[in-house]
Structure 1
């Protein structure tokens, strides 16, 4: 499938799939979306100091890198699941380090992509990363995470990733009172979440989207 690096509305890059007319991040602003959905509505909502995060769709590593930059005094155990890892050659064309004014952490961004898969790596004393090359349907974690970043491709192109079966796995993977955040706001997605037991909130969306969803394991 053809893949292109494009510039989104906030100046940051993403990967575009012309055959699907789909992007890894919002064309209205990749960095803005990541901060709004996953940091403001997700990470900042968690009160624990030690936080385990599961990312569904590790992709370009943007959400992971921003979480690292915003981790503060938290100790974060980050697990990123990706069925089709992004090639290093593509990663090198992304401008996240410069757009985030994070040149002093350029080595960290590169390390997130260069470390081996299926192993836990200490990025610094307060941030560890495990990358798993895995289909989402094969996730079998139980009560392991405080927070899930659900950043799969949209339901328009991959509806099988937004079903009750997948959200049951997410519900099972979360600890009690754990939270899942996603850019999506479709009624069918919300109903699938509620069907497996989530309490779902509609929140204001990032640029280009009216709403997003935050689901809590009650």
Structure 2
């Protein structure tokens, strides 16, 4: 499978798969999309709802470029809250691509470059203590074969779009994800397709449509507690 490094409209990198006609992030801006969908609507929202919580557990579906993990490291430090981060990736990116990713440069955070590189180069299936506020574990596995070590507070659902990987957007998959969540956990995803929302509802989620990142009208946030919108 051919994977090509591309530059998105906010100057940050992503990776395109020509065969599937998809990219790992929005071509309108990789960093701005990830910040909006996963950090603002996910991590910040959850901590805002749990002001007394000193830690949370994040699970990311698809480690990919590592951008979501990097942004979470920076946010955990800013908030001074501990994040235990786990992610699965069945098809890791090649070193020839990851060594070129410009996220630390684009974020004006050069100090974090060696740490970002360690996310990619570190051992699989072992927990790394990245900082006082962030621990990291990546598992080389398909989602179907993954089981978390403890209940998940926030799921970053960042699989490729349903047109490319429809098998990852089914009711059965969302039932698995719901069973992974803590009682007040949430799931956030950039995708707002009607079929996806209906699969989430059928699995037992409550789902709300919220404003999406730039160039995208809506995204989804799901939980056990929120009332479903019509």
Please say whether Structure 1 and Structure 2 have the same fold, judged by a TM-score greater than 0.5: yes
Q: Shift of the alpha carbon at 1:142? A: 7.6
Q: Which moved more, 1:138-147 or 1:122-131?
A: 138-147
Partner of 1:212: 219
Partner of 2:23: 23
SS class of match (1:41): helix
- Gapped runs of 5+ residues in structure 1? none
Partner of 2:72: 67
Does the 8 A contact of 1:53 with 1:149 survive in 2? yes
Partner of 1:53: 58
SS class of match (2:195): helix
2:149 and 2:197 map into 1 onto residues whose CA distance is: 22
76, 85, 91: which one aligns with 2:83: 76
Does the 8 A contact of 2:73 with 2:133 survive in 1? no
- TM-score norm. by structure 1 comes to 0.97
C-alpha RMSD of matched pairs (Å): 1.1
2:160 and 2:32 map into 1 onto residues whose CA distance is: 17
1:91 and 1:140 map into 2 onto residues whose CA distance is: 27
1:73 and 1:93 map into 2 onto residues whose CA distance is: 29
Aligned length: 218
1:57-206 residue pairs with structure 2 within 5 A?
57-71=62-76, 72-141=79-148, 144-206=151-213
Does the 8 A contact of 2:8 with 2:28 survive in 1? yes
Partner of 2:14: 14
Does the 8 A contact of 1:140 with 1:169 survive in 2? no
SS class of match (2:70): helix
Q: Shift of the alpha carbon at 1:217? A: 2.1
Is 1:36 paired with 2:39? no
2:85 and 2:218 map into 1 onto residues whose CA distance is: 26
C-alpha distance 142-127 of structure 1, shift in aligned 2 (>3 A): closer
1:215 and 1:142 map into 2 onto residues whose CA distance is: 21
- Gapped runs of 5+ residues in structure 2? 226-230
Does the 8 A contact of 1:142 with 1:173 survive in 2? no
Q: Shift of the alpha carbon at 1:143? A: 5.9
Q: Shift of the alpha carbon at 1:65? A: 0.2
1:168 and 1:88 map into 2 onto residues whose CA distance is: 34
1:120 and 1:143 map into 2 onto residues whose CA distance is: 14
